[in-house]
Every structure is written in structure tokens, then in C-alpha cells.
């Protein structure tokens, strides 16, 4: 398997000469005059068609907030322009990126081949026949995966897109919690698909772009109350508002972690319940959408019905949003492409949240065994009273 966390150089000299060409709005740019129609859908051409997006050259920038074991330096980024004519985003910040544009002078990790489902039996020993097995192209795949992890880790997203450019062609990549879908080569000198993507993305809703529409910015009053009641909210992190089951919770913005971007991705936050004005535990995850697996909230209900002691009080639990955006799509695409091949099946995931009335305490915070027993007794009495 490829390592998605390989440290890579920021790009060769051959690549960097294209970055400004993708974001320059000046048709007299010397590279534009020299290259002519080599890249007819460069950013300076696309910019006039995407009034709701800002395209930025970030090849020399580095996200200071991303606590990865190496620097994250995507070539170009697309940001949504702020509503109400606010100031555009400058530089690199994974926490507010819409999608990434990565440019390579070579090293395409993906392989185009005529598809025949019967070939997958013969290719059973190959990890993925659509991916290069080794070499620098494999490292490029790790780089793309790391970028996806950074964006999906610092934001609440249902999915995200990438534009991957190699010389005179491009590929579109769509990531969600089950995997990634990659297009065949798009030769943008002859085909309009790349420009079509930018135009359609520009007018798409936030949900279609992959943003979790149940997450927004809190009001100033909510921020002040959260900081007053929840000490964890006082740390130097932006706060977010999460709407769930008719209630509104204020949490700290998430941090990226150096892991693959697929899977459950459970994230727990000590939240401020704006309705009851108290601290609660909010857990956001992508549960495995399998019939034999019982959702976590249902298990809590069964435990409480059986009067099992020392179980946190369940305030709410359930799926988030609609199936269109809050359910993984990569697994379904693979199923349609390769039916009846269980070894190639991907696990579907569904966006899920649970809110508990009890916040656990780390074991190392207890000084002695007596304190552990004492807190368990108090915990049981509080849980049964809910």
C-alpha cells in the first residue's frame, strides 16, 4: 500500500513556471505570450467565469496551523468569496479551502486502461490496477492524499474535490469517507470538461461543494457564553456552531491529523449547549452503514432501558442531513462499476452525531484509586437522574 504521509519537495522548476499562469489575470503575462494556447483554460481565463471563487497561487506558502510531520504546500487553492463583500482569503489555510489544484510536470499516479470487470479476477494480486505500483508517481499519490486529509481534517465536510494537472491534461478527484473517485485524462486543449467543472462548482450550493451545512459561525453572544461556561472554548481556536436535533452547540474548530482521509473519522468535542446552557459531549463521526451494525445511540438506549449503571446520559443521536450529501458515494460508484466482486467492495459510511450529558475525565487526571471510585459513584447517581 502507498504511504500517504511521504514528505515531498514543493515542486520542480518545470512545475513552478505554471503556477502564476494558472492564477494570473494579466493576458500580457510573459508566460501567456510564450505558451500561447498551451493551457487555454488557465486560471486567468477561468477567473471571469467563477465570480464566486478566488484562485490563489500558494506554491510558496505553508499552512502554519497544520500540525503535520511536514509542510503542506499545494500549488493553487480555490476559496469561496465571503458574502457581503468581505475581504478575500490570502495565502494558505486548509481550514477555509474549497478545493485544491495540484500541478505536476510528470508523475501521474493514475493509470488509464480499458475497463473489463472480468479483468479484476486476473488482477486479484494487484492492489489497484488503476494506480502505479511504485516510483515517484506513487509519491504523488501520497501527496494528494495528505492534502485531502488536511482539508477534511480541519473542516466539517461531506466530500471535497481536487484538480490534478499533469502537463497538458487534468483529472478531477472527489474524496469522501469511503475513498476517492478519479476521472480519466481531460485534455483541456480539446475538451471543455475542466472549464465545465469550474463553472458548475462556482454556482453550486455549499452542500453540493461538500460543506456540512449544519455547521456555521456562532454569534458573538454565543461565543461569549460558550467561553464563560465551557473553559475549553477559551483556547485560541475559532468556534463553530453545530445544529443537531433541533439544538445548537458551540464547539472548537477541528484540527488536522496525519491519517488517511477515509473511515469513521470520529471527532469528539466538549460543546456548549445553547438551549440548556451547559457543557455536553458532542461526537461527530461517519458510522459504517451496514445492516448488522447497530448505531451507537441505539446501544445507549438499550443499556439505559436495562438500567445498566455508569452509562452516560444520552441527549440525542441520529444521522445528519440527507442521503445525497451526508452519505458516501464512492462505494456505490465502485459497486456499479464492479458488481459481484466482494474483494473490491468499499464500505459505505453515513454521517452521524451523538450528544452525551456526561463528559469523561482522563484516567491520568485522577491522583489515586479512591478518587476514581468516588467519581464513579457520583457519575452513576447523576446518570440515573437524567
Give the pLDDT band (50/70/90) at residue 224: very high
**Strand locations in the chain (E):** 53-57, 76-80, 99-104, 160-166, 169-176, 179-182, 215-216, 239-244, 247-252, 267-273, 278-288, 314-319, 349-356
> Domains of the chain: which residue ranges?
13-209, 215-385
Give the pLDDT band (50/70/90) at residue 283: very high
Least confident of 2-16, 129-143, 159-173: 2-16
| Average pLDDT for 291-297 | 94
Quick: pLDDT tens for 241-266: 999 999 999 999 998 777 889 999 99
* 27 or 341: which leads in pLDDT: 341
Quick: pLDDT tens for 307-332: 998 888 999 999 999 999 999 999 99
| pLDDT at residue number 74 | 83
Do the beta carbons of residue 240 and residue 253 sit within 8 Å? yes
- Residue 381: left (phi > 0), alpha (psi -120 to 50), or beta? alpha
* 35 or 369: which leads in pLDDT: 369
pTM: 0.81
Amino acid at each position: 500500500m502507498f504511504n500517504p504521509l511521504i514528505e515531498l519537495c514543493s515542486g520542480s522548476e518545470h512545475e513552478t513556471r505554471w503556477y502564476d499562469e494558472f492564477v494570473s489575470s494579466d493576458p500580457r503575462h510573459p508566460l501567456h505570450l510564450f505558451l500561447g494556447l498551451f493551457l487555454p483554460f488557465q486560471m486567468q481565463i477561468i477567473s471571469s467565469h467563477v465570480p464566486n471563487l478566488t484562485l490563489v497561487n500558494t506554491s510558496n506558502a505553508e499552512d502554519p496551523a497544520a500540525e503535520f510531520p511536514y509542510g503542506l504546500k499545494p500549488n493553487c487553492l480555490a476559496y469561496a468569496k465571503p458574502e457581503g463583500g468581505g475581504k478575500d482569503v490570502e495565502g494558505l489555510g486548509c481550514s477555509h479551502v474549497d478545493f485544491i489544484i495540484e500541478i505536476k510536470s510528470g508523475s501521474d499516479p493514475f493509470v488509464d486502461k480499458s475497463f473489463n470487470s472480468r479483468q479484476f479476477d486476473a488482477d486479484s494480486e494487484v492492489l489497484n490496477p488503476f494506480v502505479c505500483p511504485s516510483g515517484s508517481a506513487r509519491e504523488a499519490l501520497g501527496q494528494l492524499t495528505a492534502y485531502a486529509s488536511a482539508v477534511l481534517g480541519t473542516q466539517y465536510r461531506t466530500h471535497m474535490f481536487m484538480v490534478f494537472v499533469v502537463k497538458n491534461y487534468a483529472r478531477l478527484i472527489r474524496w469522501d469517507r469511503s475513498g476517492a473517485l478519479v476521472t480519466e485524462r481531460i485534455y483541456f486543449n480539446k475538451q471543455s470538461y475542466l472549464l465545465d467543472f469550474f463553472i458548475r462548482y462556482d454556482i453550486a450550493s455549499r452542500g453540493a461543494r461538500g460543506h456540512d451545512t449544519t455547521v456555521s459561525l456562532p454569534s458573538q453572544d454565543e461565543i461569549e457564553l460558550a467561553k464563560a461556561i465551557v473553559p475549553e472554548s477559551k483556547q485560541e481556536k475559532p468556534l463553530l456552531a453545530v445544529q443537531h436535533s433541533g439544538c445548537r452547540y458551540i464547539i472548537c474548530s477541528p484540527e488536522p491529523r496525519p491519517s488517511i482521509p477515509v473511515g469513521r473519522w470520529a471527532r469528539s468535542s466538549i460543546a456548549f449547549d445553547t438551549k440548556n446552557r451547559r457543557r455536553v459531549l458532542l461526537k461527530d463521526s461517519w458510522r459504517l452503514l451496514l445492516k448488522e451494525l447497530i448505531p451507537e445511540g441505539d446501544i445507549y438506549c438499550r443499556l439505559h432501558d436495562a438500567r445498566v449503571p455508569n452509562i452516560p446520559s444520552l441527549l440525542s443521536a441520529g444521522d445528519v442531513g440527507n442521503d445525497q450529501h451526508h452519505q458516501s458515494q464512492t462505494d456505490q460508484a465502485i459497486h456499479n462499476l464492479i458488481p459481484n466482486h466482494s474483494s473490491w467492495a468499499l464500505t459505505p459510511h453515513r454521517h452521524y452525531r451523538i450528544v452525551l450529558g456526561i463528559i469523561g475525565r482522563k484516567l491520568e487526571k485522577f491522583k489515586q484509586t479512591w478518587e476514581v471510585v468516588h467519581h464513579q459513584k457520583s457519575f452513576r447517581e447523576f446518570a440515573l437522574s437524567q
